[in-house]
Amino acid sequence: MSKYVIDAYAWLEYFDGTPKGEDVKKLVENKENKIYTASITMAEIVSVIKRRDRDHEQALNTIPLLSKIFDIDKDICAESGSLHAEIKKEKKNFVLIDAFVLAIARKLKAKVVTGDPHFKNLKETVMI
């Protein structure tokens, strides 16, 4: 069994039905995989979908069916803040939400599924 944390980039590709989204679909719909999504990722997805003038309800209803929603606690906040400060020294555009996703993946000993270049060259990353 493999564990994956799916970030907003990957979920958006999934819902857009792109070739990269097909790769995500294979992972999230494989019952042998444990799939997680950070609760904060849900907010990011809603923001992007609304800016595209599309309905976000499908995403909000589908993601919890395909993944366990990982809630943010103070330990994840502290780890995310530390990761953000450390990584941002080298990757100036590294955003705080990415640090949350990475901290959750590390806590779960999981891989981050993404196409976001901010995750490139991090050992926990599966690039789509």
Section 17-42 average pLDDT? 97
Q: Identify whether 10 is part of a domain.
A: yes
Q: Identify whether 83 is part of a domain.
A: no
Q: Identify whether 15 is part of a domain.
A: yes
Q: What is the CATH number of the domain that holds 33?
A: 3.40.50.1010
Section 72-91 average pLDDT? 96
Cβ count near 15 (within 10 Å): 19
Q: What is the pLDDT of residue 37?
A: 98
Q: Identify whether 67 is part of a domain.
A: yes
Q: Identify whether 42 is part of a domain.
A: yes
CA distance 48 to 73: 24
pLDDT at residue 65 tops 90: yes
Q: Identify whether 99 is part of a domain.
A: no
Residue 48's pLDDT band (cuts 50, 70, 90): very high
- What does pTM read for this prediction? 0.94
In degrees, rounded to 5, the angle at the alpha carbon of residue 37 between the alpha carbons of residues 107 and 48 is 130
Q: Identify whether 60 is part of a domain.
A: yes
Q: Which domain holds residue 9?
A: 3-71+110-127
| 102 Cβ contact list (under 8 Å, min separation 6) | 80, 83, 87, 112, 119, 122, 124
* pLDDT over 90 percentage in the chain: 91
pLDDT at residue 121 tops 90: no
> Is the Cβ–Cβ distance between 37 and 67 less than 8 Å?
yes
Report how many domains make up the chain: 1
Residues in the chain: 128
